[in-house]
């Protein structure tokens, strides 16, 4: 009895594959399992050679959606599978290559168990989400502390944050940058907790010393936030939100490109909200007055592109302050 060369190679390959500690099978074009190595048989608790692969691994009646014998037939590569029953519901990364076996075109599949790594990734994702929720709660709490100190401007920070977010979206900024701007907006007046409450709520004009104390709030906020490991440069944005394009702002008299774009956006949103809202020393002046102010100072105090975006969203009523 003679054995052809291909059959000899089949025997040799089978012995080699049996020595591999990963599960291996060979499946033909009709999705019949032609071969399973020792590791695969042990994992399944038996020899399923001759059975349809999709019935063994997925308990399906037809081939799996990501089957290499499907629309991408003939393409080498890999796919993943979440088993239903035979392999204990575990997840596998499957690398496949097309071969000749027992005189047939077939696919050789190597099963790498990724259940633990997949679970670890999910746990990491859940942990990161929990951390983001915790940081969000901290941000909200810190913002609320300022309002306790300065009840006359209740809601100011959240309104600034929401307007700044809409302006950023109108400008087409990246979603992560927009999220950082929103957080900075929620915390931009955090440093005011160091300012005496009687100054914050004073109904009349502030004296020079009182004004100087208020002008320290960006620096105080920066110092408080610089120790918190946030995803965005919130501390620096808070520090710069009273800087002006012509260098007339505070605390550092920065000009144009030295001022972060995020801070320029907060600056415009801050001014618009302040003019539109009631203050202890004056009644609310309204959106029209606020837009007139930023238009008049466009390119001098405020970034032109930011002003244009702000005017567009407020004029078109795509954003409305909730007082």
Q: Is 13 exposed, middle or buried (0-12, 13-18, 19+ CB in 10 A)?
A: middle
| String of DSSP letters for 5-51 | HHHHHHHHHHHHHHT-SSEEEEEETT-BEEEE-HHHHHHHTS--TTS
Q: Looking at the domain that runs over 126-315, which CATH code has it been given?
A: 1.10.3210.10
**Cβ-based neighbours of 269, under 8 Å, separated by 6 or more:** 160, 161, 163, 164, 167, 185, 310
What span, in angstroms and rounded, lies between the C-alpha atoms of 118 and 83? 14
What span, in angstroms and rounded, lies between the C-alpha atoms of 287 and 311? 10
Q: What pLDDT, on the 0 to 100 scale, is given for residue 291? A: 93
The domain ranges of the chain are 5-113, 126-315
User: 126-315: same fold as 5-113?
Assistant: no
**Taking the chain (323 residues) in consecutive chunks of 10 residues, what is each chunk's mean pLDDT?**
53 79 90 92 90 85 74 58 70 84 87 85 81 72 72 78 96 94 92 83 82 92 88 94 96 96 98 85 81 95 97 85 68
Q: Which architecture characterizes domain 5-113 according to CATH?
A: 2-Layer Sandwich (3.30)
The CA distances from residue 61 to 26, 53, 55, in Å, are 19, 10, 6
Specify the length of the chain in residues: 323
CB 306 within 8 A of CB 171: yes
| String of DSSP letters for 257-268 | GGS-HHHHHHHH
Neighbour count for residue 226 (Cβ, 10 Å): 14
Helix and strand element counts for the chain (H, E): 13, 5
What span, in angstroms and rounded, lies between the C-alpha atoms of 47 and 38? 9
Q: What pLDDT, on the 0 to 100 scale, is given for residue 215? A: 92
Q: What pLDDT, on the 0 to 100 scale, is given for residue 310? A: 96
């Amino acid at each position: 009895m003679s054995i052809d060369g291909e059959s000899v190679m089949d025997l040799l390959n089978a012995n080699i594959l049996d020595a591999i500690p990963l599960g291996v099978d060979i499946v033909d074009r009709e999705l019949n399992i032609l071969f399973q190595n020792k590791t695969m048989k042990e994992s399944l608790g038996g020899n399923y050679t001759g059975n349809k692969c999709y019935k063994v691994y997925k308990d399906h009646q037809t081939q799996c959606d990501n089957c290499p014998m499907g629309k991408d037939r003939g393409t080498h590569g890999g796919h993943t599978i979440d088993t239903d029953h035979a392999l204990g519901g575990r997840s596998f990364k499957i690398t496949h290559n097309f071969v000749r076996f027992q005189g047939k075109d077939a696919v050789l599949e190597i099963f790498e168990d990724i259940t633990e790594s997949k679970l670890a990734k999910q746990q990491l994702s859940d942990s990161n989400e929990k951390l983001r929720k915790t940081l969000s709660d901290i941000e909200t709490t810190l913002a609320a502390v300022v309002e306790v100190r300065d009840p006359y401007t209740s809601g100011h920070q959240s309104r600034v944050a929401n307007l700044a977010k809409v302006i950023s979206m109108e400008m087409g900024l990246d979603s992560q940058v927009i999220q950082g701007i929103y957080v900075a907006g929620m915390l931009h007046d955090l440093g005011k907790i160091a300012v005496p409450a009687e100054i914050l709520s004073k109904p009349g004009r502030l004296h020079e010393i009182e004004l100087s104390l208020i002008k320290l709030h960006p620096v105080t906020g920066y110092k408080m936030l610089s120790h918190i490991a946030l995803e965005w440069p919130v501390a620096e944005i808070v520090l710069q939100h009273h800087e002006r394009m012509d260098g007339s702002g505070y605390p550092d008299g920065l000009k144009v490109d030295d001022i972060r774009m995020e801070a320029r956006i907060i600056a415009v949103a801050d001014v618009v909200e302040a003019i539109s809202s009631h203050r202890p020393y004056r009644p609310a002046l309204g959106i029209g007055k606020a837009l007139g102010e930023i238009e008049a100072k466009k390119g001098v105090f405020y970034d032109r592109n930011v002003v244009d975006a702000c005017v567009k969203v407020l004029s078109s009523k795509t954003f409305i302050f909730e007082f």
